[in-house]
């Protein structure tokens, strides 16, 4: 089903669970920028952002069951660029670079704040399941003025499941299962809003129907996402229209 009216279906739902990076916040290009800056710091003057994005996605998939998947990714980057730094040292450098970028440059996806407030008005309980760190969530919620000038996210989301809360990140369903447990609801009583294959895979594995909002970094997965989504939306304006009464 594509871009249907959601209002009648929401009558049987109690909660909507959002992904964060790439869904609520327009941060995937930012993380690519962080990795470009990191690659430059490791000695590569002109890194390819698409290559870095692919290396990151492949590493997170490969090491999803590891205790520190992002440290493993940083180790791969260090080896790729022949850096003498250890994986932990590269990860610490990436963390340092990312702080200022996340504070100043990350923005909300266009129209997402209207969808969040509309769902709240409809009585939906809201949660987030993300593979990012809680420290990054706190920056988005409490520090980044580009976000806070449009919405105070902490006022709307009842619980946030971060990478620190799970042993296995998406596409494993653990994060969504943790969120369901915290909310005290069944999978059939929730919807998920996602943007990527790994997120939709996780939601489906948890037994939750996903809504997908198009994100350019996932354009190569568009046919698969359309097939797997309960509804697929070109942007949050389309999702907002679907929330209006029929």
pLDDT digits 0-9 by tens, 15-63: 999 999 999 999 888 888 999 999 999 999 999 988 898 899 899 889 9
> Does any domain span residue 74?
yes
> Does any domain span residue 137?
yes
Q: Which domain holds residue 190?
A: 7-27+106-242
Q: Indicate which CATH number applies to the domain containing 152.
A: 3.40.50.1000
* Residue 89: predicted pLDDT: 97
Query: CB atoms < 10 A from the CB of 46, how many?
Result: 7
Low-confidence ranges of the chain (pLDDT < 50): 1-2
Residues 71 and 56 in one domain: yes
Query: CB atoms < 10 A from the CB of 112, how many?
Result: 24
State if pTM tops 0.75.
yes
> Does any domain span residue 81?
yes
Q: What DSSP string runs through 63-96?
A: TTTSS-HHHHHHHHHHHHTT-SS-HHHHHHHHHH
* Residue 246: predicted pLDDT: 61
Residues 15 and 128 in one domain: yes
Rounded to whole angstroms, the Cα distance separating 82 from 77 reads 8
> Does any domain span residue 2?
no
Question: Among 38, 71, 104, where does a domain finish?
Answer: 104
Residues 89 and 165 in one domain: no
Number of domains in the chain: 2
Residues 203 and 146 in one domain: yes
> Does any domain span residue 139?
yes
- Token pair belonging to 108: 């909300």
Residues 20 and 125 in one domain: yes
* Residue 2: predicted pLDDT: 47
Residues 92 and 131 in one domain: no
> Does any domain span residue 212?
yes
> Does any domain span residue 121?
yes
Query: CB atoms < 10 A from the CB of 215, how many?
Result: 22
> Does any domain span residue 64?
yes
């Amino acid at each position: 089903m594509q871009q249907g009216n959601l209002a009648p279906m929401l009558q049987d739902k109690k909660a909507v669970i959002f992904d964060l990076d790439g869904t609520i916040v327009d941060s995937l290009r930012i993380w690519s920028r962080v990795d470009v800056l990191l690659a430059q710091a490791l000695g590569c003057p002109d890194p390819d952002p698409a290559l870095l994005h692919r290396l990151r996605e492949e590493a997170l998939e490969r090491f999803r069951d590891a205790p520190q998947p992002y440290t493993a990714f940083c180790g791969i980057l260090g080896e790729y660029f022949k850096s003498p730094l250890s994986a932990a040292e590269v990860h610490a450098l990436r963390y340092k670079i990312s702080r200022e970028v996340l504070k100043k440059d990350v923005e909300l996806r266009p129209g997402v704040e209207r969808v969040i407030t509309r769902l709240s008005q409809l009585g939906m309980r809201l949660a987030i399941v993300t593979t990012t760190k809680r420290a990054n969530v706190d920056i988005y919620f409490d520090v980044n003025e580009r976000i806070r000038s449009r919405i105070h996210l902490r006022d709307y989301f009842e619980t946030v499941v971060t990478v620190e809360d799970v042993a296995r990140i998406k596409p494993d369903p653990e994060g969504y299962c943790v969120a369901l447990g915290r909310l005290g609801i069944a999978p059939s009583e929730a919807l998920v809003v996602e943007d990527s294959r790994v997120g939709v895979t996780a939601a489906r594995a948890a037994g939750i129907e996903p809504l997908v909002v198009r994100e350019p970094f996932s354009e190569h997965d568009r046919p698969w996402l359309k097939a797997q989504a309960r509804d697929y939306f070109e942007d949050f304006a389309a999702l907002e229209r679907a929330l209006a009464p029929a």
